[in-house]
Structures are given as structure tokens and as C-alpha cells.
Amino acid sequence: MISTPKPRALVTGATSGIGKAISFALCDAGYEVIALGRSKANLADMSAKNGIRPLALDLTDREALAAAIEDETIDVLVNNAGIMPPMGSFADMAQSDIDTTLEVNLSATLATTRLVLPSMIARGQGHVFFTGSTAGHAPFPNMAVYAASKAAIASFAAGLRCDLSGNGVRVTEVVAGRVETALYRDALTEDARAEMYSVFQAVQPQDVAHMLTTVLAMPPHVDVTRFDILPTAQFVGGGGFATKDQK
């Protein structure tokens, strides 16, 4: 009997948080998952799960990325890799932090999508996900560059969907609110992060992964172009949080 090959997914930023949860969820859903990240140690731990293939490289290394995936047929691309620079006024930001944020959050994401997309178009099927943020859709203080990078992702995802209309390739932006991950590790102190997560019940990475696989399982003629996933206490339009006294 000839076995049917598993569909293949590429997840960037897969070594922790949302990316790791998505990698395991896709694996459980029957995908062969190429888990891309920079931490060899974390990837080695993940590879113990049958169906996850680690790929350790820096996403900003264009040549290495192209060489690693040029012969891969990718059915699902999850552009999840991202960083948050130290929080503060834009006027006080280091130019290196500005450049790195835009390179990782925007340029590397576009470059990865450009490598994967032609094969999807040729086959008339595929799904591209982008991990966005509420910061890309509403103003937040001390996050101007991060917000700009995520707003650009939102605009790109919407424009890409227009480009691909009728080609059978779906595009979805994942607009995440406050999710309990290591994203704020370099932006806030450990005490500040603990305090931030203590005042409300945050969305967990597994929640985002569950929603993504639910969207992915929709019929091919249905394209969920964007979904917002927020803590119940978070205002939809911004970063504030409701209290029990608010109606």
C-alpha cells in the first residue's frame, strides 16, 4: 500500500510560546511540522515529538533560509517569529533596536512568505498565517516601532489576500491580545511581567494554537481573513482592561 504523504507546515519562531504551541497543535492535527527557530537546545527538545522536524537558523539570514526550504513543499506557513524591543518613548530608542524590530517582524516575514508562496500558487492551495497584534490596530504607549511593524503586517496580509484572490491560497492574520509568553522578556523586567500577568487571566499560547487549527480546518472555499483573540477582560479597541465594577 502506498502511503499518502502528510501535509507539511512551516512555523517560524517555533521554539517557545505561541510558535511552539502551534507546532505541537499542527503535529497533532496530522501535519509534518518544520519548526524553525534560533535555539538549537529548544528545538532539540521539540524534536522528541514524532512529526516535528527542527530547523535551527536565523530567519534574517536570507541565503541560509532559502537553501533550507527551497526544496520543501509547504502547505501551511505560520509567520510567527517576532520580537519586542525595550518599551519606551520612540525618541529614546536605539537605532539598532529600531532596525532589528523591523527586520525580524516585517522584512524577514515578507522574505519567508516570498520563498514559500510560488509553490502554493502553482498547486492552487495553501494557507499563510501571520501572527499580528492588537498593537497593530490600536494605539499603545511606548510601543511605536513594534506597533508599526505589526500594522505593516496587517496591511500586507490584507493586500496579499487581494493578490491571491481566486488562486486557492488562503491568508489569515492572527490578531493576538495579551498572551502569556516570553515576548516581553527583553522589553520588561521579570517583576514587571509578573505584575502584568497577575491582574487578569491572559490568553495562553495553546488557546491561539487551537483557534488557528480551527480556522485551518474550515472548508477550502472559506477564508477567515483575520481573527482577534483577547483576554475576556481586555477592551477590544485598546490595551485597557475591564474591572468587575465596569458594566
Q: Mind listing the pLDDT tens digit for each residue in 38-62?
A: 988 889 888 778 899 999 999 999 9
Q: Among 31, 146, 184, 197, which one carries the catalytic annotation? A: 146
CA–CA distances in Å: residue 123 to residues 59, 117, 165: 25, 10, 14
Q: What is the pLDDT of residue 245?
A: 41
pLDDT digits (tens, 9 = 90+) for 155-200: 999 999 999 999 999 999 999 888 775 655 555 556 555 555 555 6
Domain boundaries, the chain: 8-229
Instruction: Judge contact between 231 and 44, C-beta under 8 A.
Output: no
Residue 113: pLDDT over 50: yes
Which CATH superfamily does the domain covering 8-229 fall into? NAD(P)-binding Rossmann-like Domain (3.40.50.720)
Mark whether 197 is an active-site residue.
no
Q: In what order do the strands lie in the sheet with 8-12?
A: 52-56, 32-37, 8-12, 76-79, 126-131, 169-176, 226-229
C-alpha cell at 74: 509547504
Q: How deeply is 194 buried, as exposed, middle or buried, from its count of CB atoms within 10 A (0-12, 13-18, 19+)?
A: exposed
List helix spans (H) across 104-143. 108-123
Model's pTM, two decimal places? 0.88
pLDDT digits (tens, 9 = 90+) for 3-34: 678 999 999 999 999 999 999 999 999 999 99
Residue 37: pLDDT over 80: yes
Residue 1: pLDDT over 70: no
Q: What is the pLDDT of residue 242?
A: 45
pLDDT digits (tens, 9 = 90+) for 198-238: 556 788 999 999 999 999 999 999 999 999 998 887 765 54
